[in-house]
Structure 1
Amino acid sequence: MGPNPPTDAERRALPRPPGAERGTPHRPVSVLLIDDDPDDHVLTKELVGDIRGGGFSLDWAPSYEAGRDAICAGSHDIYLLDYRLGARTGIELLEEVHARGCFGPVILLTGQGQSRTDLEALNAGAYDYLEKSGLTPALLERAMRYALVQHRAAAELEHKVKERTEELAKVNDALREVNRRKDEFLSTLGHELRNPLAPILNGLEIMRLAADKPETVARQRERLERQVAQMTRLVEDLLDVSRITTGKLRLTREPTSLNEVIESAVEISRPTLEKAGVEMTVDVPRETVTLLADRVRLAQVFSNLLNNAAKYTESGGKVSVTAAVEGDRATVRVRDTGVGIPAELLPMIFELFTQVDQTLNRSQGGLGVGLALVRRLVEMHDGTVSAKSDGRGAGAEFSVVLPITGVAPPR
């Protein structure tokens, strides 16, 4: 029932013993015979010794228990397992070691051909099934070589499956995290949208009751304008979320002065910084730094960073904006003395819906999309953005690096 003897060409194509493949000194393939019959041990030892070219060393486990423990210990490269082991069988041994989570290349040996035993052996996890009668060194060698190949392939497949399973587990964890952040986002959105509604409704009622008092009406109109502006900002954030997730952000790039872009961003964010009681300093090159950019969107990048600094910096803190040219790139840094960024949040600080501290400056609002938009816009300008912080209470620094097209002397 065994395979045909290998030809010389097939023999050369068969896998070499472990160790020879790795370029290390030749190490014989270690074989363990699990058989309670000393005569079978002698005969098998002769068969192994007659294999052309050698390359195999044979040890003997004379009992069911010794064979079971050896397989579970992984003591040998391959195992020759006799079907009959006293009152028990090799099939039982295979089933037991597999139940313990132990695996190895096992070839079942039997004294007579039985198709039922053949099927039982393969179902129990044997790599091959050989009859002792008519067994030759060539047949035994070929069976052992191919059992090693099968075992190696199975081990590689198991390793790949394990890697893939781990990757899928990481993806599932990431999806759960995204789902959690989206839930937080929806909760935040409801809170942020509800906040302006009460003042708007109250203001309208006051205006109705005080129709004959121009000063009261004017105050309420200003209050309504502020609340509507806040809601407009929220709607713009929602639209930006949609543009980010659908890949519909578009730029209109043209030669632009980086100096003017920073100046525009500073003017946009100045009221927010002043309201937060945060001192701002700006230090940019006197030279005109030119780059190919969407002026409005790039100003949005820096105003988002400044607004973020205002949100997470307590009154009396400081925010600085600096710019410098380094070769063919310009680096703009926004540094604050605020609450800092915990180390565990740094890798995800530019992800959608991430907020450092939802309890801080709650009145400033925000949906946690500003930094995600910053990253996307900077990448669309062929640049990079990074964040660093020494931890809570140590402030944070955001660095934007952009390619430039030229530097001109100051006018």
Structure 2
Amino acid sequence: MKVLLIDDDEDDYIITEDVLDDIPFRSYELDWVSSYDDAIKIVHEGNHDVYIVDYLLGAKSGLDLIIECLEDHPFKPFILLTGQGDVKVDEQAMVAGASDYLVKGQITPQQLERAIRHSILHSKHLNHIQELNEKLEQRVQDRTRQLDNAIKTLQRSNEDLELQIFERKKAEDELLKSQAIYKIIAHNFPYGLIAVLDENLHYLFADGTGFKDLDLDADKIVGAKYFKFLSENDPSRAEEYQKCFKLAQEVIETGEEAIFEFKYKNLNYSTIIVPIKNSRQQTKQVLVVMLNVTQQAKAEEEIRKALTKERQLNELKSRFVSMASHEFRTPLSTIMSSVSLISRYNSPEQEEKKEKHIKRIKSSVNNLTQILNDFLSISKLEEGKAFVHRSTVDVDSYIDNLCDEMSSVTKQGQKIIISHEGESQFKTDPQILKNIIINLLSNAIKYSGIGSRIWISSSIDENELSVSIKDEGMGIPQKDQVHLFDRFFRAENAINIQGTGLGLNIVTKYLEMLSGSISFESKEDVGTTFSIKIPKKFIPNEKNTVDRG
């Protein structure tokens, strides 16, 4: 696979070449160009599979180069390189048309391989969508030409009938000939129905493959009012059908065609109504063509969903890279400094200082673990790989054990007060329940001060398990409470405290899996109480739920 690096720094070329060499089971040929203008020429030649562009290229930027190249080659895969993890630069890269975004100094072989593979696949998808759109446009043009020809044929037939209106027998013969033409057109018109209506919008003729789909009776259709049977068979859309009927009336009144869409049960139809004018240019009849476009509508919806999902995954990945690089820095720095200081405390009188730094290391490790757990949890939930495994737990002792686990990360003087009422046995997923309680309890510890109290109370009645966690912490500002369960959201007064903004979003998703709910009360500088409820009555999904007794 041929890769072109566009970078004015030769060191970056050497580093990139080393990273590519470390990618297993892949063979890459890396070329390098340092000049903006030379890069434009080489990209236009199209001899490379993917292009890695530095953000800074002398007087111009990598974004300028991407925009200029994509004007002539809209589907080429570009990956933007920058020296710092900046969400704004990431967003600018996506807007410019880059397929991915990497930070210098943090690129691993796995990240680079995944970015190259994703960029090429993304480019292929865009190209495929463009081809589908072109084919669809061509089909519409072909259908339009067919309809134009049919309309001209019908108008000529109608004019012939007008010329011989005084000869009844000849008029009847001409009508039969016209109906024969309609039938030929209708039988050769797939996925729809062709009909002729009089000036009162009663069927004079109808034929086509759409009778069965629209639940129409071919023997009763002639003489019936337009949309009568559809309104009777699908009364929930009677108002919509009445609007379509009025559009058909306007064609009779104005002599101008009408195009609209309507739904019948689970089908989508596109309709065109064309006036058929006599020799005096009066509209006494209309031609109605109803085409079943259900499959086309489904295909368009699937494409929209795929594009939306791809954008969401790109956004989540970008936010993950940015958040991880920021949140890992503080605990890692703390660990490094504490380890360095511990090595100097060798005398017994310095034991207290050593313990202080050991506790700092434990706290930092716990922060790193929590960050990783959050990202792993959100990944499983997004990919549908999280499953419910229910078993019976003793809630009272279960919560005691969780609090013991968390005691190592409490702040100086913090006290956890536990209480339980009612039954002790409850059937649920113990791991999911642990994730929920640990997340809420760690928040209470994190956002409460030294020497504060935390209450965790639980109860089981005939209907549900209730757990509440109350703290004396900083509280949540009123204006931030509406966004509290949004992904990556951090309250204004918590921005400088370690965290990912994923915890409460994960809690809500886990509670949904258990058919549970969450609520909270909070007052700034007073404290916060979170309450969860998990019902005993649980409707399991056979595909993702396992009972263990």
TM (norm. structure 1) is: 0.53
Q: Tell me what 1:398 maps to.
A: 531
Return the match for 2:274 from 113, 117, 127.
127
- Aligned CA-pair RMSD: 5.1
Looking at structure 2, the residues matched to 10 and 75 of structure 1 have their Cα atoms a distance apart, in angstroms, of 17
The 5 A counterparts of 1:235-274 are 235-249=372-386, 253-270=390-407, 272=409, 274=411
Contact 1:313 1:339 in 2 (8 A): no
Looking at structure 1, the residues matched to 346 and 410 of structure 2 have their Cα atoms a distance apart, in angstroms, of 37
Question: Any gaps of 5 or more consecutive residues in structure 2?
Answer: 1-156, 159-177, 180-195, 197-203, 206-218, 261-271, 539-549
Cα deviations across residues 21-67 of structure 1 (Å, max 9, x unaligned)?
7899xx9x999xxxxxxxxxxxxxxxxxxxxxxxxxxxxxxxxxxxx
Judged with a 3 Å threshold, the aligned counterparts in structure 2 of structure 1 residues 76 and 232 are, in CA distance, closer, same or farther, namely closer
Return the match for 2:330 from 173, 176, 195.
195
Q: Tell me what 2:444 maps to.
A: 309
Judged with a 3 Å threshold, the aligned counterparts in structure 2 of structure 1 residues 185 and 279 are, in CA distance, closer, same or farther, namely farther
Looking at structure 1, the residues matched to 245 and 373 of structure 2 have their Cα atoms a distance apart, in angstroms, of 71
Looking at structure 1, the residues matched to 322 and 367 of structure 2 have their Cα atoms a distance apart, in angstroms, of 17
| 1:345 maps onto 2:483 in alignment | yes
**Identity across the alignment (%):** 16
Cα deviations across residues 263-317 of structure 1 (Å, max 9, x unaligned)?
2233334555545x776544421x4321223435423321211222344456787
Contact 2:394 2:425 in 1 (8 A): yes
Partner amino acid, structure 2, of 1:321:
I
Judged with a 3 Å threshold, the aligned counterparts in structure 2 of structure 1 residues 212 and 331 are, in CA distance, closer, same or farther, namely closer
Q: Tell me what 1:383 maps to.
A: 515
2:518 is paired with a residue whose SS is: strand
| 1:331 maps onto 2:466 in alignment | yes
Partner amino acid, structure 1, of 2:401:
S
Judged with a 3 Å threshold, the aligned counterparts in structure 2 of structure 1 residues 178 and 327 are, in CA distance, closer, same or farther, namely farther
The 5 A counterparts of 1:7-406 are 9-15=220-226, 77-80=250-253, 104=258, 127-132=274-279, 143-144=285-286, 146-147=287-288, 172=308, 183-207=318-342, 210=344, 213=347, 215=350, 218-219=354-355, 220-221=357-358, 223-249=360-386, 253-270=390-407, 272=409, 274-275=411-412, 281-285=417-421, 287-312=422-447, 319-336=454-471, 338-339=475-476, 342=480, 344-345=482-483, 349=485, 353-357=487-491, 359-360=493-494, 362-363=496-497, 365-380=498-513, 382-389=514-521, 395=528, 397-403=530-536
Looking at structure 1, the residues matched to 315 and 406 of structure 2 have their Cα atoms a distance apart, in angstroms, of 30
Q: Name which structure has the greater RCO, CA cutoff 8 Å, separation 6+.
A: 1
Judged with a 3 Å threshold, the aligned counterparts in structure 2 of structure 1 residues 79 and 403 are, in CA distance, closer, same or farther, namely same
TM (norm. structure 2) is: 0.42
Structure with higher Rg: it is 1
Contact 1:261 1:298 in 2 (8 A): no
Contact 2:403 2:416 in 1 (8 A): no
2:489 is paired with a residue whose SS is: coil
Question: Any gaps of 5 or more consecutive residues in structure 1?
Answer: 32-73, 83-93, 95-102, 107-124, 406-411
Partner amino acid, structure 2, of 1:284:
H
What is the Cα deviation at residue 227 of structure 1? 3.2
Q: How many equivalent pairs are there?
A: 298
What is the Cα deviation at residue 398 of structure 1? 3.0
Contact 1:290 1:404 in 2 (8 A): no
Cα deviations across residues 52-104 of structure 1 (Å, max 9, x unaligned)?
xxxxxxxxxxxxxxxxxxxxxx896334557xxxxxxxxxxx6xxxxxxxx74
Contact 1:305 1:398 in 2 (8 A): no
2:378 is paired with a residue whose SS is: helix
Partner amino acid, structure 1, of 2:488:
T
2:424 is paired with a residue whose SS is: strand
What is the Cα deviation at residue 255 of structure 1? 2.1
